[in-house]
């Protein structure tokens, strides 16, 4: 009886993610401001969705964004902060 060996993946493209807990307080504030201004529905879900809260509590889950999304939201948040101070 021969054994079937599954194929292995030698390479693949993986999207780099940023764990929000690894950001500095300043970066988190900018990220949150950017999310609120650029994607209010996402901001509302992150803040009020009980399922997300359960994931954080039960599984110690953290919020992660792609590097591109993180840069986009942080940049938008910093721009918004700059506009408020002018």
Residue that wins the pLDDT comparison between 50 and 11: 50
Please give the span between the terminal C-alpha atoms of the chain, in angstroms, as a whole number.
76
Residue 85 has pLDDT above 80, yes or no: yes
Residue 72 has pLDDT above 60, yes or no: yes
Mean pLDDT calculated for residue range 50-67: 94
Q: Going by C-beta distance under 8 Å and a sequence separation of 6 or more, which residues neighbour residue 35?
A: 42, 43, 46, 73, 77
Whether 16 and 8 have beta carbons less than 8 Å apart is answered as: no
Question: What is the 3-class SS of 50-63, one letter each residue?
Answer: HHHHHHHHHHCCCC
Helix, strand, coil shares of the chain, percent, nearest 5, are 65, 5, 30
Mean pLDDT calculated for residue range 43-49: 96
State residue 5's pLDDT score: 61
């Amino acid at each position: 009886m021969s054994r079937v060996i599954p194929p292995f993946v030698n390479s693949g493209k993986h999207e780099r993610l940023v764990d929000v807990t690894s950001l500095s307080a300043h970066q988190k504030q900018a990220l949150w401001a950017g999310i609120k201004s650029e994607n209010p529905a996402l901001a509302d879900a992150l803040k009020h969705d009980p399922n997300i809260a359960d994931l954080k509590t039960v599984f110690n889950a953290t919020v992660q964004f792609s590097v591109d999304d993180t840069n986009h939201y942080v940049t938008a948040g910093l721009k918004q902060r700059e506009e408020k101070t002018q």
